[in-house]
Amino acid sequence: MVALGAALVVGLALVGLLAFAATPSSALFGTARTPSLSRTASDVAADLNTLYNRVTWIAIVIFVLVQGAILYAALGFRRKSEDDPEPVQTHGNNTLEVIWTVIPSLIVLGLAFLSYREMRAEYVTEVPDDLVITATGYRWYWAFDYADKTLGAPSAPLTLTTATELVIPVNRPVKVLIDSQDVIHSFWVPQLAGKRDAVPGARDGGYGMNSVWFEADTPGRYEGQCAELCGTWHSGMRFSVVALPEAEYAAWARAMAVVPKAPTDAASPEFAGFTTAKAVCGACHMLDLVGPGGGVVTETLQAGGSQTRGPNLTRVASRSHFAGGMFETTDANLHSWLADPQALKPGTLMSVNLPDPKAAADVIAFLKSLAIDAAVLAPVRAAGPQIVPNDLDGLGEIGGGAADEHGGDGAHEDEAEGEHDARAPRDDTHLASTLERTR
């Protein structure tokens, strides 16, 4: 009875630990802003969560039974004194051997059946291709290329390119093709689908790109992460999936697909920023604009190779975050990033900096002039919390200083970032060293 009671206590403690880990505010999950894996927003994620729960409960039952048997044998048959005789020695028990062979085999077969059934549902091949998004992993960010036949046509789908922020319609299947241009990455949005590796390499004659599909059933912002250790800033390779009602998504997609015009006023800050961007950013970034002749789309900036390609900058001011989802897109943060990206994200492949505040301000003005209409962008910005990695919480302290230095709205930035920091943990050693280097 003592042994069984001890096993029950251990089992209840394990159940309590698992319940604690599943809560959104659990320390085991990072911060109070990290969503619970049980808050699924698609059928695929819900089925995965159900499978996880079933396997967990089976494991708990096995754990309690095995630990109970161990405690029963250890406590019930222990040697109580020096006078206790040695127990009768026996060898082999066919009944027990059959039991402890058959029962584990049945358990393994049952788990295999449950897993196989879920895999069949997740790895379906007949997913509609009305909306296909190619997610390409780079060190360290995700690029997204859209092909939407619903908003275009089967032979000429609406196309657009963005990064870090993946906007999708609610209640419409989305097929994501997953690729990599450098090392192995892993595409994972826990509340929408399971993990899928992004494997680099030629496709002709070999394996095709991995893919995943999901259909968001609830509007909101769902955080994604590279789930493969891909280098120094693996933890800083985040992205968001924003699910919107169809009409709001359509407005966003159509606005994003329109190629903006290049600035023509030579006396404007936007033109000066455009000139600086061509000279400084052109080695690695792409920028799609309509040329002075009108109607001609030109790739103003040329990519410097797959290993050094940075995100497409055309609509960067329309994204909630930049630098792999690590920083909110504010003037202050952009100033800090342009001044010294290596100080904020050591190891980033962006080695060019703009320490001149005037040049940086012109580039930011140029990029902001390419943003889509604020009214169209509003639903994306309003979709849930803006989540950044724990090791960069407190960036507002950098951003606030940069805003004051460059003449921005320092009070507004400080207020907004202060509100952000109030929700963030204060045990950030990386941030402390970053602040020390950038002061």
Instruction: Give dist(CA 31, CA 394) in Å, integer.
Output: 14
Mean pLDDT, rounded, for 27-52: 69
pLDDT at position 437 is 43
Q: What is the pLDDT of residues 409-439, one digit of tens each?
A: 433 334 333 333 333 333 333 434 443 444 4
Give the pairing of strands 174-180 and 165-169: unpaired
Tell me the CA distances in angstroms from 237 to 14, 18, 137, 325, 350, one per residue in order: 32, 27, 9, 7, 14
Residues contacting 426, CB < 8 A, separation 6+? 394
pLDDT reading at 98 higher than 80: yes
Percentage of the chain beyond pLDDT 70 is 74
Mean pLDDT lowest among 1-15, 164-178, 369-383, 402-416: 402-416
Please report the sign of the dihedral spanned by the C-alpha atoms of residue 405, residue 411, residue 417, residue 418: positive
- Residue of higher predicted confidence among 331 and 390: 331
Q: What is the pLDDT confidence band of residue 171, given thresholds at 50, 70 and 90?
A: very high
Instruction: Give dist(CA 359, CA 344) in Å, integer.
Output: 19
- Residue of higher predicted confidence among 407 and 121: 121
Separation of CA 276 from chain center: 31
Phi, psi of 382 (to 5 degrees): -85, -5
Q: What is the pLDDT of residues 115-154, one digit of tens each?
A: 888 887 777 667 788 999 999 999 889 999 999 999 988 8
Residue among 237, 185, 233 nearest 212 (CA): 185
pLDDT at position 413 is 37
pLDDT at position 304 is 44
pLDDT at position 391 is 44
The domain covering 269-371+389-438 belongs, at the CATH homologous superfamily level, to Cytochrome c-like domain (1.10.760.10)
Percentage of the chain beyond pLDDT 90 is 29
pLDDT at position 84 is 79
| Class of the CATH domain delimited by 131-253 | mainly beta
pLDDT at position 132 is 93
Instruction: Give dist(CA 423, CA 34) in Å, integer.
Output: 12
Residue with tokens 């780079």: 138
Separation of CA 17 from chain center: 26
pLDDT at position 17 is 67
Q: What is the pLDDT of residues 272-324, one digit of tens each?
A: 998 888 888 877 888 888 876 665 555 555 544 444 578 888 899 999 889 88
pLDDT at position 380 is 92
Residue among 282, 286, 289 nearest 262 (CA): 289
Mean pLDDT lowest among 128-132, 140-144, 372-376, 403-407: 403-407
Q: What is the pLDDT of residues 190-202, one digit of tens each?
A: 889 888 899 887 6
The answer to whether residues 399 and 322 touch, using CB atoms and an 8 Å cutoff, is: no
Residue among 354, 360, 359, 439 nearest 400 (CA): 439
Mean pLDDT, rounded, for 94-111: 90
pLDDT reading at 406 higher than 90: no
- Residue of higher predicted confidence among 33 and 435: 33
pLDDT reading at 99 higher than 80: yes
> Vertex 165, ends 354 and 373: CA angle to 5°?
80
Phi, psi of 257 (to 5 degrees): -80, -15
Helices (H), 229-373: 246-257, 269-280, 331-339, 341-344, 357-369
Mean pLDDT, rounded, for 388-402: 41
Q: Report yes or no on whether pTM surpasses 0.85.
A: no
288 strand-pairing partners: 299
Mean pLDDT, rounded, for 67-87: 79
Question: Helices 410-422 and 395-405: crossing angle, nearest 10°?
Answer: 180
pLDDT at position 261 is 87
pLDDT reading at 387 higher than 60: no
The answer to whether residues 335 and 360 touch, using CB atoms and an 8 Å cutoff, is: yes
Domain boundaries of the chain, sorted by first residue: 2-73+95-122, 131-253, 269-371+389-438
pLDDT at position 11 is 67
Mean pLDDT, rounded, for 236-251: 93
Residues contacting 240, CB < 8 A, separation 6+? 164, 165, 166, 221, 222, 223, 224, 320, 321, 325, 387
Tokens representing residue 185 in the block: 């990455």
pLDDT reading at 13 higher than 80: no
pLDDT at position 401 is 38
Other C-beta atoms closer than 10 Å to the C-beta of 434 total: 23
pLDDT reading at 339 higher than 50: yes
Mean pLDDT, rounded, for 261-279: 88
Mean pLDDT lowest among 182-191, 339-348, 354-363: 339-348
Mean pLDDT lowest among 59-68, 181-190, 311-320: 59-68
* Most confident listed range (77-86, 216-225, 307-316): 216-225
pLDDT at position 384 is 67
Residue among 268, 301, 243 nearest 368 (CA): 268
- Residue of higher predicted confidence among 125 and 178: 178
pLDDT at position 351 is 78
